[in-house]
Structure 1
């Protein structure tokens, strides 16, 4: 069992999302990545979207729509769905961090569907030490989880809306506190999502096609704190996801879907500080103070970057994906995810396959970092097993 100190643990948490944060400049531009609490909420939980560059707001609905766009549930073909996903996380660095997810949906009637999910993130086993390396706690097991419920309503023949509620629990210190420092506690928060989905037939040169568009504003909720004495609570990773997809049926056996997602964190950008010895010791020189309420932070996130409009554009993240199906049973997928080098610098290709056999479906995804880059997400695998209970009823 791998033993890790609290210092290594913190480093790994940051490495998994911001692999260039330790640098001051990237190609002459100052780094200014946005950090939030509970970043595990932004992990793509399923192998299908994980194989398509982490895109999913406008793709066809499935059991995992609660993460990408709850409104998609209203158009799901099956009455009951259930997906189980497993991701060995950061395997290039450690061997005992894992991400697990269970998602599903149930159709109430023709227009209404409910969904739910449980995401669990285990940070493995570690030792907590003091500043001189003495082990104070052995084999601690920090973990995080979120419990979600969603409701989707078909608003018209082509449009639907959805909402989701989320409870978040984050136990990063496993109850450990450094002697003489402020006591730590598990962080708890609640959040919600609001989403819309639109689809319409759009044929191309006598071939059947379908255009779809989706919007999801997720993780709007309370801040999270790990100490009763905390001076600064962390924002949740509130996010705006907008995307479109187009599916074209090449013939009765073959179809292909192309999709694009654009993401922006609805969290304040860290400002540039200068000395202010007459007051608090800090003075905002460029940008805006990021110690604000959640509603203010959401609106401020659109204009507060110290570098102005160009830096705001750098905060956009792009996901591009392709999905090919043969006789609706065998799928091949690919994609690309891009984040600006000053905002986290995650850039990687994704590949995957999918198989549907009677009542079961299996999906697999693999992450490939761009050439010449060291990335802790390299070689990340995702596995998803799905069950279609509607087909069981049909066969009976």
Structure 2
């Protein structure tokens, strides 16, 4: 294993060791919440990424189900699909990436099915023994396969559900290791509301979204005792669109997200005058509490996540991530986007600005985004990410959803 490959693989190893690591940390001011397969929380498409990862209430497109399956009943085209590609740690290595393929097909006048594949490739790893002899190769990877359905329950309100299979294979068959690939099944639930309104001389669209994603069984990498929670996430947001005139419109999107998993427990360090026994008692107490929290069931972890943060209610607020973005369209052809993601410094300190451009022409579209982080440690720092769109409106030219001639939908997504 070369130095650079080892550096790139280190985050994967930490994911496996996270439960054990939490049990060993006693007095550190540790607020960062650790879960299995954190890649499931990252926007895989360029449009959502350029809006600061906001997307629960933005207009639906081929990637809608990732953010909120409740949007699927409002899609504009009969069929659409979108491949996306994000290089990973590109300044260190060239064989790590996140790929995503998503698409939908509309059913009747109010529903749509969607499916997606997310594939996280962590590159090739060359193992070495303690004597620096070759010990085989391995390509760690994670992937998730999903199927979704969304249904309009009225002209303005829709709901949806997603079923997901997740596999995480980070170590492989390393000699002397009891690590194994993790497997999990999860579900997402979503609701979406959209309403057009005229205020004064302005034409607006107000949209609201709510989704809970990755509700599923724990990921077992070593044994059930050290199983890790999936990143169950609550996402709540809004998007407000203003049609400036027949050629120009702008959307402002805002999401708030919170992990619905146990927070790590910690205590402030004891004074220097504390005895060795008092310090050991504190270590034992913290270890025991963290073990109890990690051993909770899925439902218990979700409900207790609203009240177990260090610092009480203030700590719970610190665990909420904020996503904000603006999207401008000219003549439904050219788009410009900007976004910002904020995570509290006590919880992880991820903060970054994102910029993006997009274009739609007939059935084809393309989006790109560029991320500028507050720290070069971000694996997507200074990386161009790309999504393609194929809105196959032409397939419905010969019929509409009632079987008569006509087309459905002309607005780009």
Asked if Structure 1 and Structure 2 have the same fold, meaning a TM-score greater than 0.5 normalized by the shorter chain, the answer is yes
**1:355 aligned counterpart, secondary structure:** strand
**1:161 aligned counterpart, secondary structure:** strand
Structure 1 distance, partners of 2:365, 2:280, is 64
Deviations 1:75-133 (A, max 9, x none): 01111010000110121333211111110111111111111100011000112234565
Structure 2 distance, partners of 1:114, 1:276, is 59
For structure 1, which runs of at least 5 residues remain unmatched after alignment? 22-28
Query: Contact 1:47 / 1:352 at 8 angstroms: preserved in 2?
Result: yes
Query: Contact 2:8 / 2:93 at 8 angstroms: preserved in 1?
Result: no
How many aligned positions are there? 379
Structure 1 distance, partners of 2:398, 2:337, is 30
Query: Contact 1:276 / 1:282 at 8 angstroms: preserved in 2?
Result: no
Instruction: Quote the residue 1:234 is aligned against.
Output: 228
State the shift of 1:67 in Å: 0.6
Structure 2 distance, partners of 1:41, 1:135, is 33
Q: For residues 14 and 44 of structure 1, do their structure 2 counterparts lie closer, same or farther at Cα, with a shift above 3 Å needed? A: farther
Instruction: Quote the residue 1:111 is aligned against.
Output: 110
For structure 2, which runs of at least 5 residues remain unmatched after alignment? 22-27, 270-276, 400-413
Output the TM-score relative to the length of structure 2: 0.85
Instruction: Quote the residue 2:361 is aligned against.
Output: 357
Q: For residues 363 and 5 of structure 1, do their structure 2 counterparts lie closer, same or farther at Cα, with a shift above 3 Å needed? A: closer
Instruction: Quote the residue 2:238 is aligned against.
Output: 244
Q: For residues 282 and 63 of structure 1, do their structure 2 counterparts lie closer, same or farther at Cα, with a shift above 3 Å needed? A: same
State the shift of 1:71 in Å: 0.7
**1:251 aligned counterpart, secondary structure:** coil
Structure 1 distance, partners of 2:284, 2:129, is 29
Q: Equivalences for 1:277-292 in 2 at 5 Å?
A: 282-284=284-286, 289-291=292-294, 292=296
Which of structure 1's runs of 4+ aligned residues deviate more than 4 A? Answer: 1-8, 12-15, 130-134, 273-281, 285-288
Structure 2 distance, partners of 1:12, 1:368, is 23
- Name which of 218, 224, 240 aligns with 2:219: 224
- Name which of 376, 381, 384 aligns with 1:378: 381
Instruction: Quote the residue 1:80 is aligned against.
Output: 79
Instruction: Quote the residue 1:162 is aligned against.
Output: 160
State the shift of 1:252 in Å: 0.2
Query: Contact 1:194 / 1:217 at 8 angstroms: preserved in 2?
Result: yes
Structure 1 distance, partners of 2:332, 2:280, is 68
Instruction: Quote the residue 2:304 is aligned against.
Output: 300
**1:35 aligned counterpart, secondary structure:** coil
State the shift of 1:7 in Å: 7.0
Q: For residues 85 and 319 of structure 1, do their structure 2 counterparts lie closer, same or farther at Cα, with a shift above 3 Å needed? A: same
Asked whether 1:271 is paired with 2:265, we answer: yes
Q: What's the C-alpha RMSD, in Å, of the aligned pairs?
A: 2.8
Deviations 1:168-193 (A, max 9, x none): 011111x22342x4x22211100000
Q: For residues 241 and 132 of structure 1, do their structure 2 counterparts lie closer, same or farther at Cα, with a shift above 3 Å needed? A: farther
Asked whether 1:328 is paired with 2:332, we answer: yes
- Name which of 338, 341, 348 aligns with 1:344: 348
Structure 2 distance, partners of 1:136, 1:68, is 41
Deviations 1:210-236 (A, max 9, x none): 000000100000000123x45310100
Q: Equivalences for 1:102-251 in 2 at 5 Å?
A: 102-130=101-129, 133-138=132-137, 140-173=138-171, 175-179=172-176, 181=177, 183-227=178-222, 229=223, 231-251=225-245
Query: Contact 2:57 / 2:208 at 8 angstroms: preserved in 1?
Result: yes
Q: For residues 104 and 355 of structure 1, do their structure 2 counterparts lie closer, same or farther at Cα, with a shift above 3 Å needed? A: same
Structure 2 distance, partners of 1:205, 1:35, is 48
Output the TM-score relative to the length of structure 1: 0.88
State the shift of 1:48 in Å: 0.5
Higher percent of residues as helix? 2
Larger gyration radius, structure 1 or structure 2: 2
Q: For residues 286 and 202 of structure 1, do their structure 2 counterparts lie closer, same or farther at Cα, with a shift above 3 Å needed? A: farther
State the shift of 1:281 in Å: 7.1
